[in-house]
Amino acid sequence: MRYRIVLGYDHETRSHTATVPGLPVVVDADREEETIRLVREAITWYLEEAGASKSSRENPPVDVKIVTVDV
């Protein structure tokens, strides 16, 4: 199963974060590689705990829309 993740880096705290659109998953770590490893584990844990079947994995439990806004 493939999921897109959003990676961020905070220069002030020197930490990496990852979120998963459509899933309530947020992780942070000191290195990008560790962040990616942790987000994989978090996705797996969430799907196992939610009791998600294969069909529900194909359709995330939350509708997601990615938009761009001007500020």
Structural domain for 19, as ranges: 6-58
Strands (E), the chain: 6-10, 15-19, 26-29
66 has pLDDT over 80? no
Q: What is the pLDDT confidence band of residue 61, given thresholds at 50, 70 and 90?
A: low
Q: How many domains does the chain have?
A: 1
d(C-alpha 28, C-alpha 5), whole Å:
12
Is 17 domain-assigned? yes
d(C-alpha 69, C-alpha 11), whole Å:
23
d(C-alpha 53, C-alpha 49), whole Å:
11
Token look-up 């939610």 returns 50
Is 46 domain-assigned? yes
pLDDT in tens, 26-58: 999 999 999 999 999 999 998 888 775 555 555
pLDDT in tens, 5-21: 999 999 999 999 999 98
pLDDT at residue 41 in the model? 95
Return the SS3 of 61.
Answer: coil
